[in-house]
Amino acid sequence: MSSTAKLTAEQIENLAKEIREFLLEHGLWQDVDIYFNGKRFTQHDPVTGKYYYNDREHLIEEEDQDPRTYFEYVNPDHILSMSFEGPVCEMLYYGILPSVRREFDKIFERYGLYYEFGHHWNFSCYYI
């Protein structure tokens, strides 16, 4: 993808859904927040205070969420950002599950993106 071709809001939301589904399929949807289009996918229900790890019955989406509220290193031309602990942090930063990591990275490549870590527990996406 050239630097002039930008993803639409719909494509970015599809990317976020694909990431969430991938993490659910691999039992990794735990302590992860995906920020995109002013929204956040999370496992924490702000109303009940409960966490729903790897639970397709409780897919939580929050409006009016900006990753810059939660971490400092965010692409100024925000596409999608993630914060993570637990198994996703272990996969991405510590090299656990390398074959799953390769599959995860391919999702971004299909959308013409790569990600850069801000800290070991978050990243922001950029166009290739």
The pLDDT of residue 27 is: 98
Q: Total domain count for the chain?
A: 1
The pLDDT of residue 5 is: 82
Q: Identify whether 86 is part of a domain.
A: yes
Residue-by-residue DSSP string for 8-68: -HHHHHHHHHHHHHHHHHTT--SSEEEEETTEEEESB-TTT--B-TT-TT--EEEES--GG
Q: Identify whether 82 is part of a domain.
A: yes
The pLDDT of residue 4 is: 56
Q: To the nearest whole number, what is the mean pLDDT of the chain? A: 95
Domain housing 62 = 7-125
Q: Identify whether 2 is part of a domain.
A: no
Q: 2-61: per-residue pLDDT in tens?
A: 445 899 999 999 999 999 999 999 999 999 999 999 999 999 999 999 999 999 999 999
